Structure 1
Amino acid sequence: MTAILEEQRHLKDILKQIVLHPESLTPAHVVGGIRSIVRGEASDAQIGGFLIALKLRRIDNDPEMVVALAQETLRGAIVPDVGLDGKPREDIGMIVDIIGTGGDGWNTFNISTTSSLIAAAAGLTVAKHGSRAFSSNCGSADLLEGMGCNLSAVLPVHVAMFLKEYRYCFILANNFHPSMHYVTKMWNELGFPTPFKVLGPMTNPVVPHRAVIGVNSKALGPVMAEALRIMGRRNYAVVCGDENLDEISIAGDTHVWHIQESGEIRNYTIHPRDFGVPAHPLSEAAGATLEENKATLHRLLSNELEERDIAVRDFVLINTGFLLYVAGTASSMEEGATIARQTLESSKVKSLLESFAKATWTL
């Protein structure tokens, strides 16, 4: 790898290699390209060409390529002081996350964002990695900012305090991955998901100890799971709804690739009935504009549900319940959903969000 990087330090040379000799593309070329970009050496045209070439080469189907992208992205991240070498700080404990790749086209309500709040109120310590909308009407950061959170003010130095005080912190990608702003700018302009899109769930700089990660394609599930396994992640569950949904589906089956403590990847299928929850058509859990999603979240947290909110609530319960199960808080998926419902119907989640939002304005 070192020899290749010494020979081809500039993105222009690496791009030529990818285009003229695509069969010879290696993880080293990918890493070299990213380094050239983050050093500010590449033009917009070269960055755009690089992203398109990687997309056409379908490197997001290759676990080793995905690992190269993820590790190089993490290498340039600002890492909060929340533990060392995978060992949690005693005053913070085990950290979890629930996040999806996005881009599934279903435009559902902000399920993982709501689930992260419920999970924290239920006793887990949650570092929720996320960003503003790219392929949906309302991203995770958009919703929380709409609910009064000043996420741009939450910097790496603040993370440990939030996790200790509230068991919750939102990790806004832009604040923790400054080296990636060249790439972010370009993929927004290109208007289609690039291979970097799969990195969001893999590059939380906190490096959670356990996580539920949604992917927008059943074909991507085993690739993501294997990449995470190679990176040393354990007790992570990759999920994909049968509709190519990047969450646990409320409508039917969901495919799971569960990385065990041993490193074995266990593949199985789950259904809302496993949580003691009825199935609903996805159309009943659709998201909408920021204002409509804010109103839905307010009703959920205030326990003032309307008939149209039932499917969304159940959708949230199964995703939260699975996170509680993966984290070891619940002994079964059904118990996880029960804990999630009890927590949601209390005032704990609303109080947590209000307290977190207020704290983000006092930094």
Structure 2
Amino acid sequence: MTITLEEQSHLKDILKQIVLNPGSLTPAHVVGGIRSIVRGEASDAQIGGFLITLKLRKIDSDPEMVVALAQEGLRGAIVPDIGLSGKAREDIGMIVDIIGTGGDGWNTFNVSTTSSLIAAAAGLTVAKHGSRAFSSNCGSADLLEGMGCNLKAVVPSHVGKFLREHRYCFILANNFHPSIHYVNRMWSELGFPTPFKVLGPMTNPVVPDRALIGVNSKVLGPVMAEALRIMGRRNYAVVCGDENLDEISIAGDTHVWHIQESGEIRNYTIHPRDFGVPAHPLSEAAGATLEENKATLHRLLSNELEDSDIAVRDFVLINAGFLLYVAGAASSMEEGASIARETLESGKAKVLLENFIKATYELPDL
């Protein structure tokens, strides 16, 4: 007996359907399962079973499934009112993001977080979506909180103020996605990446105008790009290092799926030399503990580099430089890296972070 979608209001019913009829899984089942979880009606066993089933069915290899996940994630998000028209929008300008799926196993330094600070200091308006660590020693939120940011206080009503006054705001996923704790709890206990890893890069509630998104698999790259295209995103670049790294690799080639304004997806390969930067082994750009990553970030922003920091700095420069290129703030990748380096060495990124930290403790009641 087949259970109709109308009858599948509970995750238990959906699981029964897709397990007993393996070929029957549809985007509607995925959406129904997520909604059942968000309503708080599913047990831990049912949530775990659902996540495992989605993993085994490889739904993150199907753009339509990925779109269903992302749209449902955005449906449940708290969307900040940042002034999307008129003078307020002019003050904010083009909004960008740089984020990766995580889960690549390389445990590199917090490249996207550092790159986001440099990009904002170079003149872009950055709404950086991120969370605490799941698959690494130190996530983006962990690092910024370790540096002194009061991220818990940055709620949706504050985003417009930060973007207008500082050109930077960190969008802590837990503050903008109330239902995320249901999945995150099980995700951390399962110990392997689930298809929900695609949600972070695709569900920034601000919906940036342009973005650089890293994925941890060359197979996922074209799927993510096609899903973003279906969702209407343009001038987004999906990247994957040749080592299945969810960032632009400092060690060698990186594969790019660049969604053009026309909607065409342009696929090409880039290398550190395209940025005028030498390649370095990934082992020289490894991340470590929170305390060690904090120390590295401090040295980078303060121009107090040690020999061991050069690879990390260059790693950051090519990622920040490519974001500047994707955003149209640089005419070439090499110019983007040059702007990023000048911004870093000028101390502007350090000042931006210091001002952001201070502002997170001086928030008005909005």
Aligned CA distance change for structure 1 residues 53 and 340 (closer, same or farther; 3 Å): same
Between the aligned partners of 1:192 and 1:223, the Cα distance in structure 2 is 20
Alpha-carbon deviations, 1:12-41, whole Å to 9, x = none? 110111111121110001001111111111
* 1:271 equivalent in alignment to 2:271: yes
User: 2:237 aligns to what SS in structure 1?
Assistant: strand
Instruction: Give the match for residue 362 of structure 2.
Output: 362
The one-letter code matched in structure 2 to 1:338 is S
Distance in 2 between the 1:334 and 1:182 partners?
43
Matched, 1:226 2:187: no
Q: Does 1:14 align with 2:14?
A: yes
> In structure 1, what is the equivalent of residue 39 of structure 2?
39
Q: 1:171 maps to which residue?
A: 171
- Please report how far the alpha carbon of residue 312 of structure 1 lies from its aligned counterpart in structure 2 after TM superposition: 0.4
Residue aligning to 1:204:
204
Does the C-alpha gap of structure 1 residues 232 and 165 become closer, same or farther in structure 2, counting only changes over 3 Å? same
Instruction: Tell me what 1:254 maps to.
Output: 254
Is the counterpart of residue 101 in structure 1 residue 101 in structure 2?
yes
SS at match of 2:330: coil
Question: 1:137/1:82 Cα in 2 relative to 1: closer, same or farther (>3 Å)?
Answer: same
Q: State the shift of 1:4 in Å.
A: 4.7
Structure 1 position 206, deviation (Å)? 0.5
Amino acid at match of 2:349: V
Deviates more, 1:181-190 or 1:255-264: 181-190
Whole-angstrom CA distance in 1 between matches of 2:15 and 2:300: 49
Gaps of 5+ in 1: none
CA offsets, 1:103-151, max 9 Å, x none? 1011110000000000000000000000001110110000000100010
Q: What does 1:45-60 align with in structure 2 at a 5 Å threshold?
A: 45-60=45-60
Per-residue deviation, 1:167: 0.2
Partner residue of 1:281? 281
Q: Take 1:303 and 1:172, find their aligned partners in 2: how far apart are those partners?
A: 28
Please state how far the C-alpha of 1:84 moved relative to its aligned partner: 4.4
SS at match of 2:284: helix
How far apart in 1 are the matches of 2:88 and 2:26?
34
Q: Specify the alignment match of 1:241 in structure 2.
A: 241
> Which residues of 2 match residues 329-344 of structure 1 at below 5 A?
329-344=329-344
Which residue matches 1:137? Answer: 137
**Contact in 2 for aligned 1:88/1:94 (Cα 8 Å):** no
Partner amino acid, structure 1, of 2:7: E
CA distance in 2, matches of 1:117, 1:53: 38
CA distance, structure 2, for counterparts of residue 240 and residue 88 of structure 1 = 35
Partner of 1:323: 323
The alignment partner of 1:258 has SS state of strand
Partners of 1:67 and 1:128 in 2: CA distance = 21
Q: Conserved in 1, the CA contact under 8 Å of 2:83 and 2:160?
A: no
Counterparts of 1:347 and 1:268 in 2: how far apart (Å)?
33
**Shift of residue 274 of structure 1?**
0.4
Indicate whether 1:191 and 2:181 are aligned: no
The whole-number CA distance in structure 2 between the counterparts of 1:88 and 1:250 is: 38
Displacement after TM superposition at 1:180 (Å): 2.2
Q: Structure 1 residue 44: deviation in Å?
A: 1.1
Structure 1 Cα separation of the partners of residues 102 and 82 of structure 2? 27
More displaced stretch, 320-329 vs 190-199:
190-199
Give the count of matched residue pairs.
360
User: Alignment partner of 1:211: what SS?
Assistant: strand
CA distance in 2, matches of 1:17, 1:201: 30
Give, in angstroms, the shift of residue 338 of structure 1: 0.4
**Alpha-carbon distance in structure 1 between the residues aligned to 2:43 and 2:169:** 35
| Change beyond 3 A, Cα 1:88–1:222 | farther
2:313 is equivalent to residue 313 of structure 1: yes
CA displacement, residues 148-194 of structure 1 (integer Å, 9 cap, x when unaligned): 00101100000000000000000000000002221111111111111
Structure-2 residue corresponding to 1:121: 121
TM-score (norm 1): 0.97
Supply the distance in 1 between the matched residues of 2:243 and 2:193 (Cα, whole angstroms): 18
**Any stretches of 5+ residues in structure 2 without a counterpart?**
none
Structure 2 CA distance, aligned partners of 1:164 and 1:84?
12
Say which SS state the counterpart of residue 128 (structure 1) adopts: strand
SS where residue 126 of structure 1 aligns? strand
SS in 2 for 1:256: strand
RMSD (Å), alpha carbons: 1.3
The verdict on how the C-alpha distance between 1:161 and 1:88 changes in structure 2, with shifts beyond 3 A counting, is closer
Q: SS at 2:14's partner residue?
A: helix
1:308 is paired with a residue of what secondary structure?
A: helix
Counterpart of 1:34 in structure 2: which amino acid?
Answer: I
Partner SS state of residue 213, structure 1: strand
Q: With the length of structure 2 as denominator, give the TM-score of the two structures.
A: 0.97
Tell me the secondary structure at the aligned position of residue 212 of structure 1.
Answer: strand
- Bigger drift between 185-194 and 163-172 goes to 185-194
Q: Secondary structure of 2:239's match?
A: strand
Tell me the distance in 1 between the aligned counterparts of 2:53 and 2:169.
Answer: 36
- In structure 2, the residue corresponding to 1:329 is in which secondary structure? coil
Secondary structure of 1:169's counterpart equals strand
Q: Identity, % of aligned pairs?
A: 89
Alpha-carbon distance change, 105 to 88 in structure 1, aligned in 2, over 3 angstroms: farther
